[in-house]
């Protein structure tokens, strides 16, 4: 086996040194009746070339070379090539969690920079060294608010990513935390009147997303007023991080729960991504996840360490702020490099291109179908309501190697045939025009009978 | 004279400030293509929501970024540089073909919501890996959704709760041995269970009599790591499972130490009902400085209806798809389908090994640990003489007489060119040195390690100050963690530069 660095003679010599007759001696603590006496039924040992071939085949079966209008919590942005060059360095790739600071300063300093940039971009004072993803970051942010307020009820915007909502529900269920939902109004934003009725002095926090699941930018200040008036905390989730280049961050929030996938992390069929929690300094001791802090060494030299570990499971066990241990360090490093490449000016210009493509697309789609929540500021997604079933439209587009917008009926049956379309800087005008043209054709005529196979 | 290559030597490396300290207006590492649609008046499009300024975000050029991160990287120790004997972490070689297949265009750019019709490649990977892991663990069903080991534990306990609830009573407590990882009790608390501690016996194993007396109808499950954190196989595992099952409880296995078992014994065969795996340990996906991990949870059939949604199913037309319609499911624990990029890596690892390679891997991992154990006997106190599997735990009892503790020994090991072992864990061994070499170490590296550790033990006898002031050869030494926690500086600001 090519990964194993021992010759038969090495093994022999080592067994002899140990004083064992055979390798079986070393497995004698396992009761004989349980020891496996056959080969595992897994694929036979393959050559590297065979492995690459097998995966290449799978890659070809997986939407390779399609143009996609999908967003909905996972975004296709250009990834500068130096991200992979740098994260492929073995010193980053094959290092462990930086508990031993003297031999981990590279990872530690880069996380410190990551925490700084996330703080800058979110308008918060501190950020952690990453969480699993946006959905779990949102959930952990809510649990954090519950600890901080000593209250248990949570109000969740229906315009939050539905899968984030599902994850929160899973966690909340066993913690005896009542969840209530507040719907969106005709503007696509949280219905403030309903929010006013939902938030009480029992409410620990309000969880919204901005830009929300429909791409609409929420009235964060309005939501914050109602929330804070009742002594509750405001948690704002952000699933499209590039929006922070041009959209005012939710400065009125108490906690920001972010998905940083847009910052140079491949779509990768849903993961690994990079969640982050950012908050105000005063709340940091209730924040879950690893944190890097600046300090000095014994000779006074600047250095970095993992800090405030007394919040964490390996010290506090069942009294920890969270059970989280592993974070997404390597993915956070991708995001870190992405943020460094684009920086202060580039991130804004990148976001502007997203905005421009989306404005153009929404305008074109709007000529042939209804664009919902039109009038309300949005970032790079918009909702198109059609007469025809979006799955049928998408099946037709798929024949032209285009993946259409995300049909919303699965999560929002009340929106009928609406679909969520996304245009990042990667989208071309010609692809937009093609998609609009095909949608216009079907919208102009009678809805086509469902003769063709519908792709779901 | 025979030429001996020592493990480490001093070498010049570069100093490097924070990226913000290199930033100046006008530098850029980016270039966007010309816009093919009309520009947008951002003030008009966004109104009050328009952001005007990005604060202290850096402005640097591409070569500066390359040098910045390359310089930082050289300050890290890594598996690629040498043995990384962290007990319980399974720091094995991370094969590069894993990285290559994960970056294939169709997989790297696959959108989680793209139609199933054009997701067959990804679905096939999910299914194939699931089948392999079910076979390796001897279980009957699996979810790949949990993002890491701790989330796997959480998912596993949710399944336990869901199942017991369906039988009428979710019960109140989880039994956890005192040798367990901190994530175990933290997870039990997250799922709303009370934690009851279970004492180890003098051999470092579960005290079966204590278990029998503590087990009752209030206990939902026992969370057992096997081999446990001492690297000891729980020889009475059958009896343990029997005690749990007789009172209607379940046996949860923390699979952190699965690297000692793959291809040799299957947890499903010795009575485990539910377990998680750490793909970033046993299945070679890179630790990457702390993550990402991946924590699939494998279960026996009776827990299958409770698995998180969605699950992969074969459809009548022969294609694969997701099934979301699972009324008994405990729900979703993460958006989308889990850390897919770790699945491709783990599967590539399994394929590169095959059944024979997986078995040999386990044998070598156990051989290496026992070789180290033999090599260090006498120099360090061995608190439990029970046979070791894939890792061995010593204590600093001998060195402590000179005032040198496990952390000091670990810091001194850095000077010899090794990453430290795991210090001060498991908690049942005061001053623990927990050493897990994995299968990836050649005999030569193991010999160097043994020599280094023996040399450190001798130094302590002669001059304890050497270890107490170590490391001596690193950029920084003995960082002030107390000051860091007392007045946390968690981000750069122009004023603290």
Give residue-wise pLDDT tens across range A138-188.
Answer: 999 999 999 999 999 999 999 999 999 999 999 998 788 999 999 999 999
Q: What is the pLDDT of residue B425?
A: 87
pLDDT in tens, B270-328: 999 999 999 999 999 999 999 999 999 999 999 999 999 999 999 999 999 999 999 99
Q: Can you tell me the mean pLDDT for A78-96?
A: 97
Long-range contact set of residues B422-425: C-beta below 8 Å, sequence gap at least 24: B422/B86, B422/B87, B422/B88, B422/B89, B425/A314, B425/B87, B425/B88, B425/B229
Pairing between β-strand B274-276 and β-strand B297-299 as defined by DSSP bridges = antiparallel
For the CA atoms of B103, B106, B112, B118, the dihedral, rounded to the nearest 10 degrees, stands at -160
Cα–Cα nearest to A147, from A233, A236, A251, A237: A233
Q: Which residue has the higher pLDDT, B1 or A180?
A: A180
> CB count, 10 Å around CB of B194?
15
Q: Is the peptide bond before B227 cis (omega within 30 degrees of 0)?
A: yes
Beta bridge partners of A330: none
Start-to-end CA distance of chain B, whole Å, equals 52
Q: Chain A residues with CB inside 8 Å of B119's CB?
A: 62-63, 269
Please indicate, yes or no, whether the overall pTM of this predicted structure exceeds 0.90: yes
Contact A269 B370 (CB under 8 A): no
Which member of B56, B97, B476 has the closest CB to residue A105? Answer: B476
Q: What is the pLDDT of residue B497?
A: 57
**DSSP per residue, B301-347:** GGGGGGSPSPEEEE-TTS-EEEE---TT----SSSTTS-HHHHHHHH
Pairing between β-strand A419-422 and β-strand B141-143 as defined by DSSP bridges = unpaired
At A454, is the pLDDT very low, low, confident or very high (cuts 50, 70, 90)? Answer: low
pLDDT in tens, B282-297: 999 999 999 999 999 9
What percent of chain A is predicted at pLDDT more than 70?
98
- Token pair of A425 as six digits: 């800087």
pLDDT in tens, A205-253: 999 999 999 999 999 999 999 999 999 999 999 999 999 999 999 999 9
Q: What is the pLDDT of residue B6?
A: 82
Mean of pLDDT over chain B: 96
At A322, is the pLDDT very low, low, confident or very high (cuts 50, 70, 90)? Answer: confident
Q: Chain B residues with CB inside 8 Å of A315's CB?
A: 182
Cα–Cα nearest to A72, from A357, A420, A413, A424: A420
Q: Chain A residues with CB inside 8 Å of B338's CB?
A: 270-271
Instruction: Judge contact between A415 and A408, C-beta under 8 A.
Output: yes
Q: Is residue B299 classed as helix, strand or coil in its secondary structure?
A: strand
Q: Is residue B378 classed as helix, strand or coil in its secondary structure?
A: coil
Instruction: Judge contact between B267 and B261, C-beta under 8 A.
Output: yes
Contact B355 A64 (CB under 8 A): no
Q: Tell me where in chain B the CATH 3.40.640.10 domain(s) lie.
A: 97-350
Q: Can you tell me the mean pLDDT for A328-350?
A: 97
Read off the DSSP letter of residue A125: S
- What are the residue ranges of helices labelled H in A45-191? 48-60, 82-87, 90-93, 105-122, 134-149, 162-173
Instruction: Judge contact between A387 and A443, C-beta under 8 A.
Output: yes
pLDDT in tens, B30-59: 999 999 999 999 999 999 999 999 999 999
Q: What is the pLDDT of residue A137?
A: 97
CATH of domain B97-350: 3.40.640.10
Q: Can you tell me the mean pLDDT for B331-346?
A: 97
What ipTM goes with this model? Answer: 0.96
Q: What is the pLDDT of residue B3?
A: 66
Beta bridge partners of A131: A275
Read off the DSSP letter of residue A180: E
Q: Can you tell me the mean pLDDT for A342-369?
A: 98
- Smallest Cα distance from A200 to chain B, Å: 25
Domains of chain A with CATH codes? 67-77+344-444 (3.90.1150.10), 82-339 (3.40.640.10)
Q: Chain B residues with CB inside 8 Å of A341's CB?
A: 29-30, 62, 65
What residues of chain B, 458 to 477, have a C-beta less than 8 Å from chain A? 471, 474-477
Tell me how far CA of residue A369 lies from CA of A401, A436, A449, B203, B469, in angstroms: 22, 9, 19, 73, 73
Mutate to test the interface with B, among A33, A132, A400, A423 (most CBs of B within 10 A): A132
Instruction: Judge contact between A170 and B145, C-beta under 8 A.
Output: no
Cα–Cα nearest to A389, from A298, A316, A452, A320: A452
pLDDT in tens, A103-124: 999 999 999 999 999 999 999 9
Pairing between β-strand B141-143 and β-strand B297-299 as defined by DSSP bridges = antiparallel
Which member of A60, A113, A163 has the closest CB to residue B19? Answer: A113
Is the pLDDT score of A456 beyond 70?
no
| B143 Cα distance to chain centroid | 18
pLDDT in tens, A275-313: 999 999 999 999 999 999 999 999 999 999 999 887 777
Q: Does the beta carbon of A454 lie under 8 angstroms from any beta carbon of chain B?
A: no
CATH of domain B363-482: 3.90.1150.10
Is the pLDDT score of A451 beyond 60?
no
Q: Distance between CA atoms of A293 and A15, rounded to whole angstroms?
A: 46
Q: What is the pLDDT of residue B4?
A: 63
Q: Tell me where in chain B the CATH 3.90.1150.10 domain(s) lie.
A: 363-482
Is the pLDDT score of B385 beyond 60?
yes
Q: Chain B residues with CB inside 8 Å of A355's CB?
A: 40, 42, 45-46
Q: Does the beta carbon of B399 lie under 8 angstroms from any beta carbon of chain A?
A: no
pLDDT in tens, B193-229: 999 999 999 999 999 999 999 999 999 999 999 999 9
Q: Distance between CA atoms of A194 and A446, rounded to whole angstroms?
A: 38
Q: What is the pLDDT of residue A312?
A: 74
Instruction: Judge contact between B148 and B156, C-beta under 8 A.
Output: no
- Smallest Cα distance from B89 to chain A, Å: 8
Instruction: Judge contact between B46 and A358, C-beta under 8 A.
Output: no
Is the pLDDT score of A446 beyond 70?
no
Q: Does the beta carbon of B363 lie under 8 angstroms from any beta carbon of chain A?
A: yes
At A315, is the pLDDT very low, low, confident or very high (cuts 50, 70, 90)? Answer: confident
Instruction: For B96, list phi and psi in degrees, rounded to 5.
Output: -80, -20
Instruction: Judge contact between B146 and A98, C-beta under 8 A.
Output: no
- Token pair of A395 as six digits: 């099946």
At A65, is the pLDDT very low, low, confident or very high (cuts 50, 70, 90)? Answer: confident
Is the pLDDT score of A34 beyond 60?
yes
Scanning every residue of chain B, which has its alpha carbon at the shortest distance from the alpha carbon of A112?
A: B491
Instruction: Judge contact between B281 and B292, C-beta under 8 A.
Output: no
Is the pLDDT score of B24 beyond 80?
yes
Q: Can you tell me the mean pLDDT for B6-22?
A: 92
Cα–Cα nearest to B335, from A261, A166, A274, A324: A166
Q: In sequence order, what E strands does B199-270 have?
A: 219-225, 250-254
What residues of chain A, 228 to 287, have a C-beta less than 8 Å from chain B? 244-249, 266-272, 284
Which member of A89, A105, A318 has the closest CB to residue B70? Answer: A89
Query: Containing H/E element for B490?
Result: none
Contact A173 B191 (CB under 8 A): no
Instruction: For B90, list phi and psi in degrees, rounded to 5.
Output: 50, 65
Contact B358 A341 (CB under 8 A): no
Read off the DSSP letter of residue A132: S
């Amino acid at each position: 086996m090519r990964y194993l660095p021992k010759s038969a003679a090495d093994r022999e010599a080592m067994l002899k040194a140990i004083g064992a007759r055979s390798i079986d001696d070393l497995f004698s603590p396992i009761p004989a009746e349980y020891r496996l006496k056959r080969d595992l039924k897994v694929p036979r040992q393959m050559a590297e070339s065979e492995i690459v071939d097998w995966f290449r085949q799978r890659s070809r079966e997986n939407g390779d070379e399609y143009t996609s209008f999908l967003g909905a919590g996972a975004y296709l942005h250009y990834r500068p090539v130096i991200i992979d060059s740098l994260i492929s360095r073995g010193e980053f790739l094959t290092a462990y969690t930086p508990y031993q600071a003297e031999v981990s300063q590279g990872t530690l300093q880069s996380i410190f920079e990551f925490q700084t940039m996330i703080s800058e971009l979110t308008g918060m004072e501190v950020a952690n060294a990453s969480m699993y993803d946006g959905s779990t970051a949102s959930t952990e942010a809510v649990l954090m608010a519950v600890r901080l307020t000593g209250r248990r009820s949570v109000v969740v915007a229906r315009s939050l990513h539905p899968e984030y909502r599902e994850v929160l529900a899973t966690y909340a269920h066993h913690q005896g935390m009542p969840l209530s939902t507040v719907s969106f109004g005709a503007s696509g934003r949280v219905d403030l009147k309903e929010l006013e009725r939902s938030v009480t002095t029992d409410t620990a926090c309000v969880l919204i997303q901005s830009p929300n699941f429909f791409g609409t930018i929420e009235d964060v200040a309005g939501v914050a007023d109602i929330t804070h008036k009742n002594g509750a905390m405001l948690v704002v989730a952000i699933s499209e991080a590039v929006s922070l280049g041009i959209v005012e961050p939710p400065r009125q929030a108490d906690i920001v729960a972010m998905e940083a996938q847009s910052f140079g992390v491949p779509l990768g069929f849903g993961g690994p991504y990079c969640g982050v929690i950012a908050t105000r300094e005063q709340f940091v001791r209730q924040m879950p996840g690893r944190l890097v802090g600046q300090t000095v060494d014994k000779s006074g030299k600047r250095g970095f360490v993992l800090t405030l570990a007394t919040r964490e499971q390996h010290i506090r066990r069942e009294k920890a702020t969270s059970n989280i241990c592993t974070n997404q360090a390597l993915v956070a490093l991708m995001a870190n490099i992405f943020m460094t490449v684009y920086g202060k000016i580039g991130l804004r210009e990148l976001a502007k291109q997203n905005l421009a493509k989306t404005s153009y697309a929404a305008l074109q789609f709007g000529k042939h179908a209804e664009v919902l929540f039109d009038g309300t500021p949005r970032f790079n997604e918009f909702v198109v309501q059609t007469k025809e079933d979006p799955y049928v439209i998408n099946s037709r587009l798929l024949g032209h190697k285009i993946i259409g917008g995300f049909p919303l009926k699965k999560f929002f049956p009340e929106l009928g045939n609406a679909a969520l379309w996304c245009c990042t800087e990667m989208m071309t005008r010609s692809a937009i025009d093609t998609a609009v043209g095909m949608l216009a054709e079907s919208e102009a005529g009678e809805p086509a009978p469902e003769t063709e196979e519908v792709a779901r | 004279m025979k030429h001996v290559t020592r493990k480490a030597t001093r070498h010049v490396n570069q100093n490097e400030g924070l990226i913000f300290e290199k930033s100046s207006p006008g530098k850029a590492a980016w270039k966007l293509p010309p816009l093919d649609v009309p520009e947008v008046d951002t003030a008009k499009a966004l109104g009050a929501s328009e952001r005007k300024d990005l604060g202290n975000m850096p402005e640097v050029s591409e070569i500066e970024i390359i040098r910045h991160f390359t310089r930082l990287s050289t300050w890290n120790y890594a598996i690629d540089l040498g043995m990384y004997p962290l007990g319980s972490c399974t720091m094995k070689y991370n094969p590069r073909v894993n990285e290559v297949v994960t970056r294939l265009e169709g997989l790297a750019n696959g959108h989680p919501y793209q139609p199933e019709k054009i997701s067959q490649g990804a679905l096939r990977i999910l299914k194939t890996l699931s089948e392999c892991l079910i076979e390796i663990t001897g279980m009957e069903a699996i979810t790949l959704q949990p993002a890491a080991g701790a989330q796997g534990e959480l998912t596993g306990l949710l399944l336990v709760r869901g199942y017991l609830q369906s039988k009428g009573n979710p019960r109140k407590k989880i039994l956890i041995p005192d040798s367990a990882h901190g994530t175990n009790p933290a997870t039990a608390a997250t799922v709303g269970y009370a934690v009851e501690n279970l004492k180890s016996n003098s051999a470092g194993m579960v005290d079966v009599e204590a278990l029998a007396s503590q087990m009752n109808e209030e206990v939902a499950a026992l969370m057992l790591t096997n081999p446990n954190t001492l690297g000891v196989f729980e020889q009475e595992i059958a009896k343990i499972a029997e005690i749990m099952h007789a009172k209607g409880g379940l046996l949860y296995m923390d699979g952190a130490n699965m690297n000692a078992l793959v291809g040799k014994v299957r947890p499903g065969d010795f009575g485990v009902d539910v377990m998680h795996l750490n793909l970033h340990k046993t299945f070679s996906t890179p630790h990457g400085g702390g993550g990402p991990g991946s924590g699939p949870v494998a279960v026996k059939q009776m827990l299958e209806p409770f698995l998180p949604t969605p699950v992969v199913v074969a459809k009548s037309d022969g294609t694969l798809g997701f099934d979301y319609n699972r009324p008994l499911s405990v729900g979703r624990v993460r958006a989308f389908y889990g850390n897919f990029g770790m699945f491709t890596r783990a599967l590539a690892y399994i394929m590169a090994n095959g059944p024979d390679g997986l078995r040999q891997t386990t044998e070598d991992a156990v051989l290496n640990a026992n070789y180290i154990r033999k090599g260090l006997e006498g120099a360090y106190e061995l608190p439990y003489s029970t046979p070791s599997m894939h890792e061995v735990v010593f204590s600093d009892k001998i060195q402590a007489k000179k005032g040198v503790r496990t952390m000091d020994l670990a810091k001194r090991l850095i000077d010899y060119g090794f990453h430290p072992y795991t210090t001060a864990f498991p908690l049942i061994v005061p001053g623990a040195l927990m050493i897990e070499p994995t299968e990836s170490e050649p005999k030569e590296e193991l010999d160097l390690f043994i020599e280094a550790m023996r040399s450190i033990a001798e130094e302590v006898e002669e001059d304890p100050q050497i270890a107490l002031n170590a490391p001596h050869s690193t950029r920084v030494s003995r960082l002030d963690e107390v000051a860091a926690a007392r007045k946390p500086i968690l981000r750069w600001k122009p004023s603290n530069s």
